[in-house]
A = this chain, B = another copy of it.
Amino acid sequence: MQRRSFIAGLAAIGWLRATPAFAQTDPLPSWNEGPVKRAILDFVPRVVTTGSRDFVPVAERIACFDNDGTLWTEQPNYFQVIFAMDRVKALAARHPEWKALEPFKWVIEDNRDALAAMGEKGMLEVMVATHSGLTTEEFRQAVLDWLATARHPRFKRPYTDLIYQPMLELMAFLRSNQFKTFIVSGGGIEFMRPWTERTYGIPPEQVVGSSGVTRYVLQAPDRPVLRKESKVEFIDDGPGKAEGINRFIGRRPIFAFGNSDGDQQMLEWTAAGTGARFMGLVHHTDAVREYAYDRNSPIGRLDKAWDEAVRRGWSVIDMKNDWKVIYPFEVK
């Protein structure tokens, strides 16, 4: 009786979600049956079940997710680029010199092709340049204000609505099995942190991203601020993702998901550890419900990483066939 109530008590506080009761309910209801869902539902019990030969202690259950194109949509451009473009337009009257200066002139002229082709490094340069001088607090507020009012050009919804329901389910499944979930994104770390906790359940200290230099200055006696400077500090993309994981997390993930060539080294770094690992890619194949693009896209190009995934047997999501729904607002 005592023992039964104890178990009931654990269940009441959610403790039992951490035990492997995998068969009872589908933890991934928005996923169609298929090789990727099967691989996930094979991997997780193997690494969390005590006595399994692939058992991984809780402290080492690190899962890393790219953001743009992996957790939310990245078309027609990375949302952070759209944010930066909106900022440039809002500030253009105060900066007449931008009319002749790339990449600002592209923004003012609405030259989407040039902007899309400038890549994540160029994106960050726009970010850093248009936001230097702001304090970290002011920048945070600018991000939240933009998210509250801006709407996606195709879906006419807030950008934070355009997150992938199947990936929310995957992250919740991993966390219920005592994984610690991290974002490892080429996007700006201070662009993501104001909303990732509410949107994905990922707290700021578990967000790794690109960054500009900040400088500690006293605005008044005993009133320090961190001011954003116009200098790139770290690009968390490509090889930088492995370097960023090492710098910020200091432990090798056993599970990683990306969608583009910028995620290739994160997946390689994950794969190079010992023991069971899971490497996955989202392939955008659904032009009707989301977007379809891969080898020739300037945004989120998936080419070399795809070849490597096929060669090494990593999981590749076929969005059109693997996902029952794309966005949370489609869930009935």
| Residue ranges of A at the interface with B (Cβ–Cβ < 8 Å) | 1-2, 5-10, 12-13, 15, 59, 62, 136, 180, 189-190, 193, 197, 203-207, 211, 214-216, 222-224, 226, 233, 239-240, 242-243, 246-251, 265, 268-269, 271-272, 312
Bound Cα distance from A239 to B213, whole angstroms: 12
Pick the most buried of A211, A215, A248: most chain B CB atoms within 10 A of its CB: A248
Q: In the complex, which residue of chain B has the Cβ closest to the Cβ of A140?
A: B250
Closest-CB distance, A194 to chain B (whole angstroms)? 9
Chain B contacts for A211, CB-based, 8 A: 247
Asked if A249 and B13 make an inter-chain contact with CB atoms under 8 angstroms apart, the answer reads no
Chain B contacts for A207, CB-based, 8 A: 250
Chain B contacts for A271, CB-based, 8 A: 222
Closest-CB distance, A276 to chain B (whole angstroms)? 17
Asked if A249 and B15 make an inter-chain contact with CB atoms under 8 angstroms apart, the answer reads no
Q: Which of B1, B15, B216, B242 is in CB contact (< 8 Å) with A216?
A: B242
Chain B contacts for A233, CB-based, 8 A: 247
Asked if B6 and A214 make an inter-chain contact with CB atoms under 8 angstroms apart, the answer reads no
Asked if A248 and B205 make an inter-chain contact with CB atoms under 8 angstroms apart, the answer reads yes
Closest-CB distance, A88 to chain B (whole angstroms)? 25
Chain B contacts for A15, CB-based, 8 A: 13
Asked if B312 and A222 make an inter-chain contact with CB atoms under 8 angstroms apart, the answer reads yes
Asked if B197 and A215 make an inter-chain contact with CB atoms under 8 angstroms apart, the answer reads no
Chain B contacts for A246, CB-based, 8 A: 136, 214, 226
Q: Which of B6, B13, B62, B243 is in CB contact (< 8 Å) with A226?
A: B243
A sample of 6 inter-chain contacts (CB < 8 A) reads: A5-B9, A8-B9, A59-B203, A203-B251, A216-B265, A226-B243
Closest-CB distance, A274 to chain B (whole angstroms)? 11
Bound Cα distance from A7 to B204, whole angstroms: 32
Closest-CB distance, A55 to chain B (whole angstroms)? 18
* Ranked 4 nearest A-B pairs via Cβ: A204-B250, A5-B5, A9-B9, A216-B239
Chain B contacts for A268, CB-based, 8 A: 222, 224
Closest-CB distance, A23 to chain B (whole angstroms)? 25
Chain B contacts for A189, CB-based, 8 A: 247, 250
Chain B contacts for A13, CB-based, 8 A: 10, 15
Bound Cα distance from A315 to B249, whole angstroms: 31
Bound Cα distance from A207 to B206, whole angstroms: 13
Pick the most buried of A197, A203, A207: most chain B CB atoms within 10 A of its CB: A203
Pick the most buried of A9, A189, A223, A233: most chain B CB atoms within 10 A of its CB: A9
Bound Cα distance from A207 to B247, whole angstroms: 10
Bound Cα distance from A9 to B9, whole angstroms: 6
Closest-CB distance, A295 to chain B (whole angstroms)? 22
Chain B contacts for A1, CB-based, 8 A: 5
Closest-CB distance, A60 to chain B (whole angstroms)? 10
